[in-house]
Structure formats: C-alpha cells, structure tokens
C-alpha cells in the first residue's frame, strides 16, 4: 500500500514541476512578448526530456530485474540438477516428470514405483485435506523404508495453474529423499541399550524353609539359584542377590522380546525342584521398563511385584508403558500358617478407626453375602470403638433379600445401611472408607468416595488386578483366604477392643465363608475352619444360614433350563447362556456355573447373562483350569476356581465367541 502511494506521489510531483515551469514561462512571456516563441520551445523541450528520462529509467530497471531473474533461475536449476539429495518432481497420480542425477545413481536398479505406492496414497490423502480447506500448497513430511535404507521425504506440493484436466493432475510435487539410516540405527541402539529392571522373589521363603530338613536346605537353595542364574544368562544381564529370598536383575532392552517369548519357563523349572517333604517351591517375577532412570524403573518393578504377590505369587508380570501383562499363576495359592500379619493389620485398623470422624464401609457393585457379611464385621469393629459407621448398599436386586429381611429385624441396622448418594453427601476428609471384597477402583459401590478422602483401607481375598486402589492407607489382601469374611473374622479375633458379635453378625460372616467355599468344598484351609469355628461359638444358626441360599421354584426351573442348553467345548468345559433380561441374572449365572461343576467330567464352567447393558460372565473350576486367568483377559478377575467378568459393547454371541477364543488362547499358552 505504501509503494502504491509513493508511485502516485512521484507522478503527481513530476506534473507539479511541469505546471510550475509553465507558469514561470507564462509570466516571462507577459513581461516580454518577444519570449513567447522561445518559451514554447523550452516547454516542449522539457516535456520531451521528461518523457525520455522516464522511459530510460523504466528500461534500466526492467533490464536489471531480467538479469537478476535469469541469474536466480540459473542458480535454481543448477542447485536442482546438482542436489546432494535424491530429488524428483512428480504429479499427484504418481507420474515422475524429472529425477536428479543423485536420485538415479542412488536408486539404480530399484523398482522405485513399488516403494512409492504407499507414499503416493498418503500424499493423496493430504491433497484431499488441503482441498477441503481451499489451500493451494502444503509441506510434505513422510518417512519410508527404501532399498534397505530409511529415508525422510521432504518437499511441497503446489497447485498447478496448467494442470491436465483429463487426468485431474492439479498438483505437482518436488520431493527430497534424505537418508537417515544412521540416525535410525543410533536411535534403535539407544533404545536397545536402555535397561530393564527385574525383581525375582522366592514365594513364602521363611515358611517353605521351615518345612525342609536342615541338611537339605543348602542343596535346595543351590538348585533354586542355579535355575535363576541359567535363566538370567540368556539375556546377558547383571544379577544381584539383595536378600535371602530376593534378587535384582538388570538387562538391556534388546533382550526384552526374547524374555517375553520365553514366557518365563523358569516358573515351571522351579516348581519341578523336588524335596523330600514334597514342598512346592515357586517364584514371583516383576519386570519393568517404565521410567527415565534405573531408580524409577526399580520403583516401578517394586509396584509390579506388589501386584504379583497380591495375586498369590507363582507368576511373572511385565510392566510396560503402564500396562501389566501376566504370565503363569496357574498353581493354587498356598495357605500361610502364621497369623502375625492379621494381628498387625487388626492393630493398625483400630488406630485408623480411632483417628477418623466416622467410618463408611462399601463392597463391590451387586454385592453378595461375602461382601455384605464382611461389611457388617467391620461395622461391628467400628461400633466397638464407639465410632459412627455406615454400610453403603445401593443394590436393588433380590440376591440378599432373605438376609436383609432378617437383618432389618434388628433396630440398630435401620439407619446403618445407606445409599451411595447419601454417603457422597456426608463424607469428609476425616472419614475412613473401608473397601471389602474388592480392590478394583471400577468395581466399588462408589468410586467417588475414594476421591473424597485420603483414609482408605482395602480388605480383599481376590488376586490383584492392574486397576487396584493405589492410594490405600492400609491393605490386607491375602489370596490364600477362602473369602473376605474369613479375613475380617481373623481381624475381629485379634482386635484389642472387646468384640461382642450378635448372632446375625456372626451368621453373616459365616454365610460369606460358606458361599465362597461352596459349603466348605473349595479353597478351604486350616485357617478357614478356625474362623468358622470361632463364628460357630458366637451362636451361628446353620439352618437359618442355609435358608438364605435357598432358591425358589421359578429360579430352580431357570437354572435347570440353562443347564440343559449348555454346550461342551474342549471335552471338559461347559458354556451356557441366559438370554433373558433379568435383574437376578448375575445370581442365576453364578448358581448355574456351580451346578454345572456337579456333572462328571466337567472341569470348568462359564455362564453368561444380561445385566442391564452389560453381559456378566461367571466362571467356576475344580482347580484343573484357572478361570481367573481366562476371565482376566476379558477385564474380569477372581481366583483359580472362581472368577467373573463384565463385558460391554458386544452381543451375547460375540461375547461367547470371544470367551471361546480366550479359552483356546489359555490352552495354547500352556502347551507352549
């Protein structure tokens, strides 16, 4: 705009000069008539000179610009022809118009079109994008592998004013191929040289060694270490024994895939070590490459080891990009003989309750009698310490209908059971939230409560999943236990406060143990019967507990019809579906899964049913097949013999097929 104004001003100025000269000459002529003719000649001469001078200046500027343009064009052409990078000019349809000498020599004998096909397709997508935004040009940045080398393709495609309308080649591209093979190799070498931190731990070392004779301990320890050293030698790392039962192992990232491909064969080798006392020895392994420094990776591996131990040991976990992948874990959990931890946790829990304003207890969604019985046990402990306590129960199913009917006969429990909405309104920072029978943030009655307080206690008996509650102040998670009710019963026994269990409270805990053990058939150890005996002494009426589990005639017929339609896969696994929408679907599926295990030759059962917009899966096993590992692949969890999962976004048939795929995957992993 300024240049345009300047040009107008220059033209106007030259005209002003002519007008001034004309006025002066006119004045001279008026004063002296003789000067008229000379003045006219002078004025004509000035006009001719101005016109001549102006044209000459324009001609000089034009010649200068032309020389400059020719020089630039010559330099540009020379640069293109002698470019140190391979260079091509091509149309948007892939037709190469021109290629530099460097391009010809670089890719001599190479079928370049084969490599450029994908590149052209990507560029066509870019063309659609700029046409969408009415652009006329766009930079190109692509990476391709060409002739066993890595190239970065740079350039720009521009709108062609003289395009071929018949072929619709509206764009032309000038592409530079910059060889970055060495850079890629350096990046890969840097990545491969980064360390992975591994923690190896012998499960239940103290208790295991107590069962082995003194003269055999040295031999067994030597065999364990031999297996560990042989396994670590495969990845050329550094192994350090940090404790009697603990090893730290560092290896380079380049061996990471090899370790994963091996699928931790060491787990089976350790279990094959024979002892005179027939004690089974197992390992827990945690590997992590999460973190910038080795210290951060070690902390990440420690967190992963906590997950492994929370799942019962005898397995390995890899933590990569904050995602856990589990291997092994097919052996039954070994019951711990010592009750020291229960005593320590009981004391710590009492202190937390005393230091809190009130206590809120919640289990998992769609609570069962184990969840409810455990909640009542913790409520009793809080009540004994003179603290206000509430149990969160927002369920509307009839799963606990018989139990709740008996519970509500006690006036004390009229205001004890509250909904999650009421709990969320009344919680504060000093409230202690106790989570029972689950440790997963997504399965609790109210995930919001976990965000409203820093005081959280988790008591659970399920194998730990990756989405566990990380910010818990106190965690009592023992996978050897038959039920959460068993763990809570032990806490009540070792509490310093005087616990006076009412009959209904003792019966709720007893029912929780009874349900999860299937009438003391599965996952029962010495401590299970000790807990049951303690509750029995508190006045448990077994007949009344039995009635809580009774099914009505309609439910029994539903169970029978589902069992009748069950399919058998892999010779020993039963799969059944319950297609009807039923608010009791989860309970019915669980009962059907239990019933299918009573059939001879059935080693595992899976039953699917619709619960709202989700499909629930109940898995049961007699111990030969780990249903927890299978259902964990579908986002669920549980135990070797009892597990469950909920699936969203799939039909019943799709869910069934996905389940079959996971079962087949489970068996293929065992075979390999």
| DSSP conformation class of 605 | E
In a domain, 333, yes or no: no
With contact defined as beta carbons under 8 Å apart, do 273 and 289 qualify? no
Angstrom distances, CA of residue 55 to CA of 7, 9, 332, 542 = 15, 18, 102, 119
In whole angstroms, give the CA distance from residue 83 to residue 85: 5
pLDDT above 60 for 137: no
Average confidence (pLDDT) over 369-378: 92
Domain boundary residue, one of 52, 81, 110? 81
623 and 641 in a common domain = yes
* CATH label of the domain that carries residue 658: 3.10.310.30
Confidence of residue 400 (pLDDT cuts 50, 70, 90): confident
Average confidence (pLDDT) over 25-29: 78
64 and 94 in a common domain = no
Is the sign of the CA dihedral 553, 554, 560, 563 positive or negative? negative
Average confidence (pLDDT) over 329-339: 55
| Alpha helices (H) along 82-213 | 101-106, 112-132, 181-193, 205-210
**Strand-pair category, 169-179 with 358-362:** unpaired
Secondary structure (3-state) at 609: strand
With contact defined as beta carbons under 8 Å apart, do 578 and 610 qualify? yes
Count of domains forming the chain: 5
Q: How far is CA 568 from the centre of its chain?
A: 33
Give the lowest-confidence range in 60-64, 339-343, 632-636.
60-64
pLDDT above 60 for 156: yes
In whole angstroms, give the CA distance from residue 81 to residue 622: 77
Q: Quick: pLDDT tens for 253-262.
A: 888 888 888 8
Secondary structure (3-state) at 145: strand
141 and 92 in a common domain = yes
**Strand-pair category, 87-91 with 96-99:** antiparallel
Check residue 622 and give its pLDDT: 84
Confidence of residue 161 (pLDDT cuts 50, 70, 90): low
Domain boundary residue, one of 302, 328, 354? 328
In a domain, 239, yes or no: yes
Q: Quick: pLDDT tens for 430-463.
A: 999 999 998 888 888 888 999 888 899 999 988 7
The tally of CA atoms less than 13 A away on the side-chain side of residue 462 is 27
446 and 352 in a common domain = yes
201 and 179 in a common domain = no
Give the lowest-confidence range in 83-87, 114-118, 233-237, 291-295.
114-118
Confidence of residue 125 (pLDDT cuts 50, 70, 90): low
Confidence of residue 58 (pLDDT cuts 50, 70, 90): low
Q: Three-state secondary structure along 282-329?
A: CEEEEEECCCCCHHHHHHHHHHHHHHHHHCCCCEEEEEECCEEEEEEC
Q: Three-state secondary structure along 233-266?
A: HCCCCEEEEEECCEEEEEEEHHHHHHHHHHCCCH
With contact defined as beta carbons under 8 Å apart, do 453 and 428 qualify? yes
270 and 404 in a common domain = no
Q: Quick: pLDDT tens for 506-549.
A: 999 999 999 888 888 777 888 889 899 999 999 888 888 888 87
In whole angstroms, give the CA distance from residue 203 to residue 312: 9
| Alpha helices (H) along 134-213 | 181-193, 205-210
Name the CA radius of gyration of the chain, rounded.
41
Give the lowest-confidence range in 14-28, 123-137, 428-442.
123-137
In whole angstroms, give the CA distance from residue 632 to residue 326: 10
Q: Three-state secondary structure along 37-102?
A: HHHHHHHHHHHHHHHHHHHHHHHHHHHHHHHHHHHHHHHHHHHHHCCCCCEEEEECCCCEEEECHH
Name residue, tokens 């391009």: 103
Secondary structure (3-state) at 203: coil
* CATH label of the domain that carries residue 140: 3.30.450
The structure tokens listed for 660 are 């079959």
The edge-to-edge listing of strands for the beta sheet with 417-418 is 417-418, 389-392, 358-362, 431-436, 456-460, 474-477
364 and 316 in a common domain = no
Q: Pick the residue with more confidence: 475 or 42?
A: 475
181 and 44 in a common domain = no
Reference 101, options 77, 113, 119, 85; nearest CA is 85
Using the CB atoms, write b or e for 180-213: b if 16+ within 10 Å: eeeebeeeeeeeeeebbbbbbbbbbbeebbeebe
**Strand-pair category, 614-621 with 604-611:** antiparallel
Domain boundary residue, one of 55, 81, 107? 81
Q: Quick: pLDDT tens for 108-120.
A: 777 766 666 666 6
Average confidence (pLDDT) over 216-239: 89
Helices 484-494 and 369-384: crossing angle, nearest 10°? 20
Query: Which of 101-110, 334-343, 518-527, 645-654 tops mean pLDDT?
Result: 645-654
Q: For 443, phi and psi rounded to 5 degrees?
A: -105, -10
Check residue 166 and give its pLDDT: 47
* CATH label of the domain that carries residue 459: 3.90.1640.10
The structure tokens listed for 558 are 């539903």
Name residue, tokens 């140190």: 84
The structure tokens listed for 450 are 């976990």
Longest dimension (CA), the chain: 148
With contact defined as beta carbons under 8 Å apart, do 263 and 208 qualify? no
Helices 36-81 and 2-31: crossing angle, nearest 10°? 160
92 and 76 in a common domain = no
**Strand-pair category, 614-621 with 246-252:** unpaired
Average confidence (pLDDT) over 488-498: 89
In a domain, 312, yes or no: yes
In a domain, 639, yes or no: yes
| DSSP conformation class of 649 | S
Q: Residues with Cβ < 8 Å from 287, sequence gap 6 or more?
A: 196, 197, 198, 259, 301, 304, 316, 317, 318, 319
The rounded mean pLDDT for the chain is 81
pLDDT above 50 for 72: no
Q: Residues with Cβ < 8 Å from 477, sequence gap 6 or more?
A: 310, 439, 458, 459, 460, 461, 462, 464
Q: Pick the residue with more confidence: 352 or 68?
A: 352
In a domain, 335, yes or no: no
Check residue 280 and give its pLDDT: 79
In whole angstroms, give the CA distance from residue 620 to residue 604: 6
Name residue, tokens 């805990």: 509
Secondary structure (3-state) at 543: helix
Q: Three-state secondary structure along 433-492?
A: EEEECCCECCCECCHHHHHHCCCEEEEECCCCCCCECCCCCEEEECCCCCCHHHHHHHHH
In whole angstroms, give the CA distance from residue 317 to residue 560: 40
In whole angstroms, give the CA distance from residue 280 to residue 274: 8
Q: For the whole model, what pTM was predicted?
A: 0.61
Q: Pick the residue with more confidence: 101 or 168?
A: 101
The structure tokens listed for 379 are 């409520």
490 and 347 in a common domain = yes
Check residue 605 and give its pLDDT: 92
> Which domain does 608 fall in, by range?
553-671
What percent of the chain clears pLDDT 70, i.e. is strictly above it? 84
603 and 525 in a common domain = no
In a domain, 271, yes or no: yes
Check residue 167 and give its pLDDT: 47
Name residue, tokens 């390992």: 283
In whole angstroms, give the CA distance from residue 642 to residue 637: 9
Q: Pick the residue with more confidence: 274 or 94?
A: 274
Q: Pick the residue with more confidence: 126 or 363?
A: 363
| DSSP conformation class of 364 | B
Check residue 73 and give its pLDDT: 59
482 and 393 in a common domain = yes
Confidence of residue 8 (pLDDT cuts 50, 70, 90): low
Query: Which of 43-57, 134-148, 582-596 tops mean pLDDT?
Result: 582-596
């Amino acid at each position: 705009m300024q240049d345009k104004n300047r040009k107008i001003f220059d033209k106007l100025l030259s005209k002003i000069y002519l007008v001034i000269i004309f006025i002066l000459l006119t004045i001279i002529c008026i004063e002296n008539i003789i000067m008229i003719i000379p003045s006219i000649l002078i004025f004509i001469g000035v006009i001719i000179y101005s016109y001549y001078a102006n044209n000459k200046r324009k001609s000089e500027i034009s010649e200068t610009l032309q020389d400059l343009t020719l020089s630039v064009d010559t330099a540009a052409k020379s640069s293109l022809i002698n470019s140190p990078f391979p260079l091509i000019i091509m149309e948007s349809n892939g037709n190469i118009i021109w290629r530099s000498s460097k391009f010809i020599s670089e890719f001599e004998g190479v079928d370049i079109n084969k490599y450029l096909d994908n590149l052209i397709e990507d560029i066509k997508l870019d063309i659609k994008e700029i046409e969408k935004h009415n652009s006329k040009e766009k930079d190109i940045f692509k990476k391709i592998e060409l002739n066993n080398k890595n190239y970065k393709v740079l350039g720009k495609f521009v709108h062609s004013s003289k395009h071929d309308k018949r072929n619709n080649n509206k764009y032309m591209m000038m592409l530079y191929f910059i060889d970055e093979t060495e850079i890629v190799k350096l990046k890969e070498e840097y990545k491969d040289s980064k360390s992975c931190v591994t923690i190896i731990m012998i499960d239940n070392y103290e208790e295991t060694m107590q069962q082995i004779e003194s003269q055999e301990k040295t031999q067994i320890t030597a065999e364990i270490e031999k297996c560990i050293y042989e396994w670590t030698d495969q990845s050329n790392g550094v192994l350090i024994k940090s404790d009697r039962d603990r090893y730290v192992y560092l290896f380079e990232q380049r061996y990471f895939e090899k370790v994963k491909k091996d699928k931790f064969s060491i787990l089976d080798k350790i279990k094959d070590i024979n002892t005179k006392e027939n004690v089974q020895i197992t390992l827990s392994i945690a590997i992590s490459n999460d973190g910038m420094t080795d210290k951060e990776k070690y902390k990440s591996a420690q967190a992963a080891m906590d997950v492994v131990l929370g799942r019962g040991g005898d397995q390995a976990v890899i933590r990569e990009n904050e995602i856990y992948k589990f291997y092994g874990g097919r052996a039954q959990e070994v019951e711990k003989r010592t009750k020291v931890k229960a005593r320590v946790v009981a004391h710590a829990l009492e202190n937390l309750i005393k230091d809190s304003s009130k206590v809120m207890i919640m289990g998992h969604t769609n609570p069962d009698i184990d969840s409810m019985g455990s909640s009542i046990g913790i409520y009793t402990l809080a009540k004994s310490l003179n603290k206000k306590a509430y149990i969160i129960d927002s369920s509307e199913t009839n799963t606990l209908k018989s139990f709740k009917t008996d519970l509500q006969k006690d006036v004390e429990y009229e205001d004890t059971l509250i909904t999650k909405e009421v709990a969320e309104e009344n919680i504060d920072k000093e409230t202690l939230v106790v989570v029972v029978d689950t440790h997963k943030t997504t399965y609790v009655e109210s995930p919001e409560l976990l965000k409203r307080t820093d005081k959280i206690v988790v008591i659970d008996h399920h194998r730990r999943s990756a989405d566990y509650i990380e910010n818990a102040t106190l965690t009592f998670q023992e996978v050897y236990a038959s039920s959460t009710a068993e763990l809570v019963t032990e806490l009540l026994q070792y509490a310093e406060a005087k616990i006076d269990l009412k009959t209904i409270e003792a019966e709720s805990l007893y029912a929780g143990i009874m349900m999860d053990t299937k009438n003391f058939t599965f996952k029962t150890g010495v401590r299970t019967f000790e807990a049951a005996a303690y509750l029995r002494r508190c006045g448990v009426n077994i007949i009344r507990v039995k009635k809580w589990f009774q099914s009505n005639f309609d439910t029994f017929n539903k169970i029978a019809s589902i069992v009748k339609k069950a399919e058998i896969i892999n010779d020993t696994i039963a799969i059944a579906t319950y297609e009807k929408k039923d608010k009791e679907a989860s309970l019915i599926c669980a009962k059907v899964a239990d019933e299918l295990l009573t059939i001879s030759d059935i080693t595992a059962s899976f039953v699917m049913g619709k619960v709202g917009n989700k499909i629930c899966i109940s898995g049961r096993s007699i111990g030969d097949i780990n249903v927890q590992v299978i259902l964990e692949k579908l986002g669920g969890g549980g135990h070797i013999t009892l597990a469950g999962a909920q699936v969203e976004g799939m039909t019943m048939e799709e869910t069934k097929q996905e389940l079959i795929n996971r079962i087949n995957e489970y068996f293929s992993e065992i075979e390999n």
